[in-house]
Structure 1
Amino acid sequence: MNIVCRSAFHLCRRPSIIADGGRGVHTSCRRSIVMPAWVIDKYGDNDVLRFNENVLFPIIHYPNEVIIKVHAASVNPIDVNMRNGYGAKSLNMSRDPLNVKMSGTEFPLTLGRDASGTVMECGLSVRYFKPGDQVWAAIPPWKQGTFAEFVVASVNEVSLKPKSLSHTEAASLPYAILTAWAALVNSCGLSKEKCPGKRVLIIGSSGGVGTAAIQLLKAWGAHVTAVCSGNAFTLMKDLGADDMIDYTAARLEEQLRTRELFDTILDNIGGTHEELALQFLKPWSGASYVTLVTPFLYNNDQLGIADGMMRTGVTLASKVMKHYYKGIHYRWGFFAPNGPSLDEIGELVDAGKIRPVIENVVPFTDVPQAFKKLEAGHARGKTVIQVVDPKK
């Protein structure tokens, strides 16, 4: 069978594609084909980040994968957590064995979840995309990431980039807005049909997920109350929030008591906010509380997979039942890669209903500085990594 390699690389650097008995597609690269990437060889603080110009070029293992040339990426809290080793046991169990070295280690590990770039090569079963397409994607944390010149992604993780956004702008949105989507849609059952008239409270509204959730909910017609510090009020109002609560001005509980009860609460902070927030949902009305701060990965790290899963299951079940008897749906929210949802989000972006919130743009050489900025806290938007200089 003759298979044409669809690639924009110079002929001498072009990977060859080989069929694997109908099972998948493998890109057979010479070991001399390398790319620059930011990697870690162990877990720790910012000192473990290492710029490596000789990372092996990614390969297509399965027929539904594409290789993307990354123009821009962005930093998310998950990147800092993964650098520190948080969730390693769970993520390593989920990693594709074809992408792990024979020794069984995940290192060198490339971080980065967001990408906006150009499709360079497609697996044999890919029909929706072709080389040259401008795309954006959110890569799940169990895969090699986007702080690299190229990345491999499943077509289920990729969508055509909104035409109204540059690569720099597009790279700031996918992971955060898909996390918000998973919490609101998958966990709480909200949608553009069900949102009109709903009252939604967002705790921790000025971060990446919070700013994305505000815009998504407003695009669907919900009434949104944002909890943040007072210096973020201008941003919250600009994004469409109907009401703002400054948690630094007075006790949050006292301020919430002056508001009507809510249909849905999205909690990005967790901790003591959980029990507090649950008091302000409409009882026996199908109201939902969803938190993105869960003990799932922590339990597995501390107790091992089996005991950690058991502890997590018991914790979740007890909380679900406790609040179910009060007429409240208690949920945990987790990021889920979702190309079709990115398609819908892209339509909202091009319609002017969702826009990127970017605080800083740094060159590819300054990835450690981007991590420091995120760890310092109180960001008012995303920090974007400019992998390819748009002026070139």
Structure 2
Amino acid sequence: MDEVLFRGSRKLEIMQVQAQLVASKTKEVFATYSQATKALISQAIHSNQVEQLKQNIAQLIGYVLEVTRDFKYQVTNILEPRRLWIFFSTVLGGKWSRREVGIACISFVIGGAVGLGVGLIIRRRETIYRYMEAIQISHYLGPEGATVVEDAHAPYECGQHDVLVEVKASSVQIIDAQICCGYGRTFRRILRRIYKQSSSDLPVILGRDCTGVITDLGKSVKRLEIGDEVWVTVPFWSQGTLCQTVLVSEARVARKPKNVGFEGACSIPYAGSLALSALTEANIDFSNAKDKRFLIQDGCTPVGCVLIQLLNNWRARVTTTCYKRALPVAKALGATDIITIDDSHYVRDVHEKDPQEIREGDQKLLLKELEVRGETFDVIVLTRNDCVDLSGFCTKNGRILCTAPEELLSDSCGFFSRLLLTGYVKLKIVIQNTLGLPSDTFDEAHLCHATLDRLTEMVEDGVLQTVVEKVYHPKDIEVALNHVQSPHSIGSTVVTFR
């Protein structure tokens, strides 16, 4: 054991001696290199190149200081009032007095201020875009082309006679489905350019009426107030109401009835305006409608529901056609006589037969029923444009009216035909405005606040009841459009934005 300890201590002593030798050598090497580095640095500092660099830097600094002093002296001399006065006097021939120069300077300042103000006034304002949810079409592909967009441009600034309405609900009409297929595209392009709404007929926001709350008014609008609950109608060529915010002329806005909600009220504005327009065209009102015989084809459409109620209130004899499932509604609206069509085949064969074939079968049944009855009518109102000819069932002086959108020949116009039509429409509008004549039919004059006020009174007096079958959300617009085209729909179809 002692031997092991002895050998271990000897090894430690050897390692200690070697460590001391290494440390001593390292110190000597570091001292040698340190002295060599100091000598090198000292030699570099005192070399000719470094001395020359110092001289160049000193000369550059001196030059910069000299230029700065010279610039300061020149600026001081130039801006000295007396020197300026001598300069301008020399340039202007020495004929100007101090008073004249003062007036000239004041005039220059005033002119500059005025020019700046005018420039700020007439400068092009930066376009501000606000966005909203809207149901629109960008192509005429049919109802399946209707889409919900989140970035439609939202109106926010009212003209003098405009009203800004926050939409709560909007109805879906048959005309909306036809617009999806291109209805009115030529007139839409022409009239939207004339009324400075757009330079194109696309995209089109769907919807022809709505209910909502006024959020802003033009300066010249006195009939309405911010916060009023209103309903709105717009013509076929204008941007629609199936969106969160609409900007319309005050002429197309009226306060909605207080006794109905937003969704229910949507069943009245557009359909009611069409119904009153048709009756006015036939010279029918409460004073002469009593005991006259009316046939309302498909009386459970939105327009048919309004017509039945109005004529019933005016004590006319109303006969209407409807499917069996709508029979309770037709009775409740006040129809005197109801021609029902068996719709069991529709449920059974809807997936087996073409819808057009089914409609033709229904029309044959209607003709057979009318022939069996042998009754004639003073006025026949067609609420759909796919009905058969019923002129044989009119009295001698009877009339047939159609409230459904009629086919527009302008939709098939070529380029040169559109040019001629554009010139004709512009000329007609100029003549009407010059002579103070009422708007033409393409402007749909019946869609106005006077008609809406009349409808409001009728609803509040209990003459008209709202009829709404289904309420959809915007995302279900394709389903809503297909439903409103079905002959089996009852009343109005509504889209809510609440």
**TM-score, normalising length: structure 2:** 0.61
Alignment of 1:79-118 (within 5 A): 79-97=176-194, 99-101=196-198, 104-118=199-213
Q: Is residue 2:232 matched to residue 1:232?
A: no
Alignment of 1:308-323 (within 5 A): none
% identical aligned pairs: 29
Structure 1 letter corresponding to 2:474: F
* Cα distance change of structure 1 residues 118 and 305 upon mapping to structure 2, 3 Å threshold: farther
Q: Is contact 1:178–1:335 with CA below 8 Å preserved after alignment?
A: no
Give the Cα–Cα distance (whole angstroms) in 2 for the partners of residues 295 and 113 of structure 1. 16
Q: Secondary structure at the match of 1:129?
A: coil
- Name the counterpart of 2:172: 75
Give the Cα–Cα distance (whole angstroms) in 2 for the partners of residues 171 and 225 of structure 1. 25
Q: Is residue 2:367 matched to residue 1:273?
A: no
Q: Is residue 2:250 matched to residue 1:137?
A: no
Q: Is contact 2:188–2:201 with CA below 8 Å preserved after alignment?
A: no
Structure 1 letter corresponding to 2:218: G
Give the Cα–Cα distance (whole angstroms) in 2 for the partners of residues 125 and 148 of structure 1. 25
- Name the counterpart of 1:216: 310
Q: Secondary structure at the match of 2:141?
A: coil
Give the Cα–Cα distance (whole angstroms) in 2 for the partners of residues 207 and 269 of structure 1. 8
Q: Secondary structure at the match of 1:163?
A: coil
Q: Is residue 2:245 matched to residue 1:154?
A: no
Q: Is contact 1:60–1:66 with CA below 8 Å preserved after alignment?
A: no
Q: Secondary structure at the match of 2:188?
A: helix
- Name the counterpart of 1:188: 282
Equivalent of 2:139 in 29, 38, 42: 42
Any idea what the Cα deviations from partners look like across 1:177-230, whole Å, max 9, x if unmatched? Answer: 111111111x11111222122211111212111112111222222211001223
Q: Secondary structure at the match of 2:377?
A: coil
Equivalent of 1:171 in 266, 273, 279: 266
- Name the counterpart of 1:244: 338
Equivalent of 2:403 in 288, 292, 305: 292
Q: CA deviation at 1:52?
A: 2.1
Q: What are structure 1's unaligned runs of at least 5 residues?
A: 1-19, 21-27, 311-333
Q: CA deviation at 1:376?
A: 4.2
Q: CA deviation at 1:267?
A: 1.3
Q: Secondary structure at the match of 1:226?
A: strand
Q: Is contact 1:179–1:335 with CA below 8 Å preserved after alignment?
A: no
Give the Cα–Cα distance (whole angstroms) in 1 for the partners of residues 299 and 466 of structure 2. 15
* Cα distance change of structure 1 residues 294 and 51 upon mapping to structure 2, 3 Å threshold: closer
Specify the structure having the higher radius of gyration (Cα): 2
How many aligned positions are there? 334
Give the Cα–Cα distance (whole angstroms) in 2 for the partners of residues 172 and 348 of structure 1. 13
Structure 2 letter corresponding to 1:236: A
* Cα distance change of structure 1 residues 280 and 46 upon mapping to structure 2, 3 Å threshold: closer
Q: CA deviation at 1:140?
A: 1.2
Q: Secondary structure at the match of 2:219?
A: coil
Q: Secondary structure at the match of 2:175?
A: helix
Equivalent of 1:33 in 127, 130, 137: 130
- Name the counterpart of 1:124: 219
- Name the counterpart of 2:468: 358
Identify, as 1 or 2, the structure richer in helix. 2
- Name the counterpart of 1:256: 370
Q: CA deviation at 1:346?
A: 1.2
* Cα distance change of structure 1 residues 77 and 256 upon mapping to structure 2, 3 Å threshold: same
Give the Cα–Cα distance (whole angstroms) in 2 for the partners of residues 306 and 289 of structure 1. 35
Q: Is contact 1:362–1:384 with CA below 8 Å preserved after alignment?
A: yes
Q: Is contact 2:192–2:200 with CA below 8 Å preserved after alignment?
A: no
Q: CA deviation at 1:61?
A: 6.2
Identify, as 1 or 2, the structure richer in strand. 1
Q: What are structure 2's unaligned runs of at least 5 residues?
A: 1-120, 343-361, 421-443
- Name the counterpart of 1:319: none
Give the Cα–Cα distance (whole angstroms) in 2 for the partners of residues 191 and 356 of structure 1. 21
Q: CA deviation at 1:174?
A: 0.9
Q: Secondary structure at the match of 2:329?
A: helix
Q: CA deviation at 1:29?
A: 8.9
